[in-house]
Structure 1
């Protein structure tokens, strides 16, 4: 057995984009790999055929998604031709689509559109629905001459010297400035090269679901000019007349999903009246006119995968309607699984294994998932009667003969609430030695830690650290009441973490209680900032993409103006004192812990000013501190940042703990 090294994760393969063929006999998916030398990711399409054979379909390293045209042909966007690459590099709005015949492996250039397309759906006869970005500064890029388009591109280059803001949010993490930019729905007739916008320039289309046999489509939309609302609407599109009708069954509502279940509409959403924006959703049924509805199921848990890991890349599906069922991923406890529900309202769990379902697709009796299981990395599985059959072995050799630490569960109570945490012993643990330890706090707060592979924690264990982590109150997986810490940030959650730390130190006497560090990102960064201002028990801290000041967060984060009010039950005007009471910056004069701050310059979720404020406060008060800023990165540095940046981040954190905990 050999020790796990920092760089090992650059050899991992990440799977996403799972899509079963119309007959369910084949599956296409995307495999992503890191190119550390060139500091980027490669993405290519792969096929699993009915015989179980895996075949690589593309090799240009830039194909991330595809749709099925029939059982033997795919359509995918790419920039594999030089003229397309050149125009994309010149900032032309452009998406070029290619057709791949699976039997012959012939690839042909099918059509292109002067739009940056994020999703395409085939309607037949050369007609497609497109979701694409629209920038009001550039205006219409379709139905104009080549010369007119080139002039628009040149004019926008000059305009990009300025940012004119007249709405909130005006930027979005991972997207940059988004002022007056929307995702619009378009109809493409590729036979006539004709593009028709179906939604207006102020409306974002958040979800699109088709029912071709009914000739209809469902859209979840949000429309705004000055301030984006937390609510959205449900619209129905008639595919023959292209008429768009608002049919929102419930007003003042946040729709997560809507699709056709037989001749009914099934929708998932939340009113936010009882538990705010983190309220768990319910499942409803309505006729297609949307005039009345019934609750199909009163879910007790959320409808997304909230299990944390730093070994994913690419997007995964959360919902799908197939035949008589709505399928969805949900997190219960510390695992996410695939569920389905029919018109009878009976909820059925489709997967039984502990871990994380990262993506899925269903065609009739064929059920496929991409999942993290035990301490294995992502692989593709088929599912039947809850039994899982592993179909791929992309990562079999990645961790072969590596020393891994199995998380040991610790269940305990605080304030009569049951809580769960885990402890990882150092690799090669020796009962006669004492070791330093690291408390790792997850983001969210409404996410969870589980038992899946987490590279940074396994690496620290291989460096001779105990690593311990838990799901305090505020986490997902245990219902609304458990997740609800509105107005309580830094109180009951802090108490849970400290009680857990005490129990870990009491249960594992080989931990040197004078050499314990703490780290976390996002909400975990907030809690790290909070902890060092309320106790000196930790000898080193690393605060990542954190929040320091709820007032500045309110005015700068892409979610600040609604997240701050909802989670703190206060604004800077109606209760500034409460925001300050829950801001770690208030307690910075009490910090003595050497602290490293990690922040990305394009993190618009927890903007750079949060890290800078806390760092400045510690320096002002003479506390050992260091701030490392990553250029060109956003809030997702640890999950999807450039390979070299992810390595540098882990190196900085590890060396900080090595310096102060050894």
Structure 2
């Protein structure tokens, strides 16, 4: 008798190979390593086309052989109907994609050599001229115009490529170089009619005539910055550039300030921008303001009206108002303000009850709403301000980080980047109310299929003064009940910053090595309101320390599998300060790794880039509160340290200078504490974020080496330089 198989049995038999393959795949997944960084794809800067159908964005990959990052522009369909495709493929990086108002061109920045681009397939190619090498300087009643660019300087620019604006036609063809500014283009924006760009470029007297000396000669308190190094005579100013032929006209000038963040008025006749025109921009002034200037140059109109920092000007769609962020008092959380675009009037609050730090301010809904993004309780999300009622509403939700949104008001759609604790950023599209969300990209999927990554759990505990503090815990890979595990306490930088549920490569690396990860948001953290963030005033090393140590005890009570006898501690910048402070006040940690850390407030104040930058933290400057500055310096308590410490620092760190690491290391050695100092060449304070790829990976391996040696008791652990 012939047996007939049931449909359900047939389906089961068909699925068995797939289920078996999936099971085998899961069984063969591995923990992440520092070297997996070389395989990451990073997404950034998404922008929707004017018709709402396409999204341009940047994907950055690591070229391990050349030890550099390579960025290219990609384009994807907003509705997901077509797979994403690479739009630029030059050997030089391309970034900052910006759509022309008619959507026919994509402008971007690149430092590719001049003379290698054609535009044969673009409309009107025969009328496109070679970029002008001699921009016309604008006259200004406020300051004399800086010298124009000479043909000799243009030649020098060609010999040493700087970032310039390129145009790429959407219907085919090669990129065409538009600008030929000697010092390149820092940022740019299309004019509303698509005929011009406003750009920020740097200019200085040395462009026209080189000094006879190579010494650095300064007249102001501020003369260096961590990200850019020692100041020269160049200042950032605004230029208006013809998109057809590259002719450029400088419209702002001055040697005592920089101009930034230019924004076209809707009718294209004016430009709003940010500048500190007090004449003291390099002498501790924080008074940046919003200004408006004609697109032809000329007299400035002041828009903002606060004595502290005013930034991020954004024109209302009808051009009658300018929204901006601003502070009334030092260290205030910025509020969103509205002011008439004609100037000479008081600004008014745009949003009531805003107690977060807004960024990426954007008008939408034909001027009825303002959108912004911000960190909130360990997450990052988009918020909406109703302009009429001044009410605030959260748009995106969930345990994730939503950043870099862009809105197309015509279609009512927006795009944004999303990451979480176990995924790097991908691109999403949604309605402006957050509904109808769709994933557009799936970067790093091949790598994710190989890896076993951990999730994070949030818990809340009581800190100093009974304040609620958020803590987060990630279990080690392969966690099993009934077993004890070493745990690493990580402390974030800032202190004005926050930890949360977004991606942290180092935490996944720790977990893959069998170490749990504990981290908290003590007072001083952002995302919990101004009172919480400024709760660190006069409290460095006091209530913030209590917040953190209460978190350790709360975790030990809540998670009995944490091994109290195998605790490590680490952190960078403020987190490095707190790591140093902790080991000087308790011996409960068996190993410490301190990165870019502060040890002595006395010397730091006079050598860091932000001179006397801790005045607001200690109720006065170093000379007024000298004893307090020393009392809160970890170096004062070095004789109490018993914990083995690894010190990682960069030789070009101007935020927390190398001498801080040297003082700490020498004092530890003086008192016989097991310690090692590792100095990374060519790096600054941002080593673990934007450092050379090989150094970023090596810094993680140094941390593994130290914790393996002292948490795992591996006396044969080998340092990465051996």
**TM-score relative to the length of structure 2:** 0.83
Q: Is the 8 A contact 2:180 2:246 kept in 1?
A: no
Q: Is the 8 A contact 2:570 2:593 kept in 1?
A: yes
Where in structure 1 are there 5+ consecutive unaligned residues?
Answer: 141-151, 306-317
Q: 1:312 is matched with which residue? A: none
Residue of structure 1 aligned with 2:434, choices 371, 375, 386: 386
Q: Is the 8 A contact 1:359 1:371 kept in 2?
A: no
Q: 1:195 is matched with which residue? A: 249
Q: Aligned partners of 1:357 and 1:193: how far apart in 2?
A: 39
Residue of structure 1 aligned with 2:50, choices 22, 33, 42: 22
Q: Is the 8 A contact 2:49 2:55 kept in 1?
A: yes
Output aligned runs, 1:77-88, within 5 Å: 77-81=109-113
**1:521-571: CA deviations, max 9, x gaps?**
01100100111111111111111111111122211111232x211112232
1:583 aligns with 2:633: yes
Q: 1:310 is matched with which residue? A: none
Q: 1:574 is matched with which residue? A: 624
Residue of structure 2 aligned with 1:347, choices 386, 392, 396: 392
Q: 2:462 is matched with which residue? A: 413
Residue of structure 2 aligned with 1:183, choices 219, 223, 236: 236
SS at match of 2:567: strand
SS at match of 2:350: strand
Shift of 1:401: 4.2
SS at match of 2:290: strand
Q: Is the 8 A contact 2:179 2:241 kept in 1?
A: no
Q: Is the 8 A contact 1:570 1:578 kept in 2?
A: no
Q: Aligned partners of 2:341 and 2:166: how far apart in 1?
A: 35
Shift of 1:408: 1.7
SS at match of 1:402: coil
Aligned residues: 628
Q: 1:363 is matched with which residue? A: 408
Residue of structure 2 aligned with 1:553, choices 584, 604, 609: 604
Q: Aligned partners of 1:101 and 1:90: how far apart in 2?
A: 23
The change in CA–CA distance for 1:77 and 1:59 in structure 2 (over 3 A counts) is same
Q: 1:121 is matched with which residue? A: 189
Q: 1:144 is matched with which residue? A: none
Q: Is the 8 A contact 1:329 1:339 kept in 2?
A: yes
Q: 2:444 is matched with which residue? A: 395
Q: 1:315 is matched with which residue? A: none
Q: 1:246 is matched with which residue? A: 301
Residue of structure 2 aligned with 1:216, choices 270, 279, 285: 270
The change in CA–CA distance for 1:534 and 1:73 in structure 2 (over 3 A counts) is same
Shift of 1:99: 1.7
Q: 2:486 is matched with which residue? A: 436
Q: Aligned partners of 1:135 and 1:660: how far apart in 2?
A: 53
Residue of structure 1 aligned with 2:706, choices 651, 656, 659: 656
Output aligned runs, 1:16-165, within 5 Å: 16-50=44-78, 51-60=81-90, 61-69=92-100, 70-81=102-113, 92=160, 94-123=162-191, 124=193, 126-136=195-205, 138-139=206-207, 152=209, 155=210, 159=213, 161-165=214-218
Q: Is the 8 A contact 2:649 2:678 kept in 1?
A: yes
Residue of structure 2 aligned with 1:530, choices 545, 559, 581: 581
Shift of 1:358: 2.8
Shift of 1:490: 0.6
Q: Is the 8 A contact 1:257 1:319 kept in 2?
A: yes
Q: 1:171 is matched with which residue? A: 224
The change in CA–CA distance for 1:293 and 1:79 in structure 2 (over 3 A counts) is closer
**1:294-325: CA deviations, max 9, x gaps?**
222234433357xxxxxxxxxxxx22234313
Q: Is the 8 A contact 1:598 1:627 kept in 2?
A: yes
Shift of 1:367: 0.3
Residue of structure 2 aligned with 1:327, choices 357, 371, 385: 371
The change in CA–CA distance for 1:33 and 1:304 in structure 2 (over 3 A counts) is farther
Q: Is the 8 A contact 2:76 2:83 kept in 1?
A: yes
SS at match of 2:109: strand
SS at match of 1:81: coil
The change in CA–CA distance for 1:438 and 1:46 in structure 2 (over 3 A counts) is same
**1:634-662: CA deviations, max 9, x gaps?**
11111111110011100001110110111
Computing the radius of gyration from Cα coordinates, the structure with the larger value is: 2
Shift of 1:93: 7.6
Shift of 1:89: 8.7
Residue of structure 2 aligned with 1:458, choices 505, 508, 511: 508
Q: 2:333 is matched with which residue? A: 280
Query: Which deviates more from structure 2 when the two are superposed, residues 331-340 or residues 178-187?
Result: 178-187
Q: Is the 8 A contact 1:570 1:579 kept in 2?
A: no
Q: Aligned partners of 2:400 and 2:477: how far apart in 1?
A: 22
Shift of 1:410: 1.6
1:519 aligns with 2:547: no
Shift of 1:84: 8.4
**1:325-358: CA deviations, max 9, x gaps?**
3221111111111122242112232212321123
Q: 1:146 is matched with which residue? A: none
Q: Is the 8 A contact 1:303 1:328 kept in 2?
A: no
**1:463-500: CA deviations, max 9, x gaps?**
01111001011111111111111111010010011111
Residue of structure 1 aligned with 2:654, choices 596, 604, 608: 604
Q: Aligned partners of 2:223 and 2:77: how far apart in 1?
A: 45
Q: Aligned partners of 2:373 and 2:39: how far apart in 1?
A: 28
SS at match of 2:524: coil
Q: 2:543 is matched with which residue? A: 492
Q: Aligned partners of 2:194 and 2:36: how far apart in 1?
A: 48
The change in CA–CA distance for 1:99 and 1:550 in structure 2 (over 3 A counts) is same
Q: Aligned partners of 1:535 and 1:597: how far apart in 2?
A: 18
Q: Aligned partners of 1:423 and 1:661: how far apart in 2?
A: 18
Q: 2:3 is matched with which residue? A: none
Residue of structure 2 aligned with 1:628, choices 674, 678, 683: 678
**1:230-267: CA deviations, max 9, x gaps?**
1112211122x523423244231211322112321212
Query: Which deviates more from structure 2 when the two are superposed, residues 501-510 or residues 522-531?
Result: 501-510
Residue of structure 1 aligned with 2:351, choices 297, 309, 321: 297
Query: Which deviates more from structure 2 when the two are superposed, residues 118-127 or residues 563-572?
Result: 118-127
The change in CA–CA distance for 1:212 and 1:115 in structure 2 (over 3 A counts) is farther
Where in structure 2 are there 5+ consecutive unaligned residues?
Answer: 1-28, 118-153, 713-722
Q: Is the 8 A contact 1:95 1:113 kept in 2?
A: no
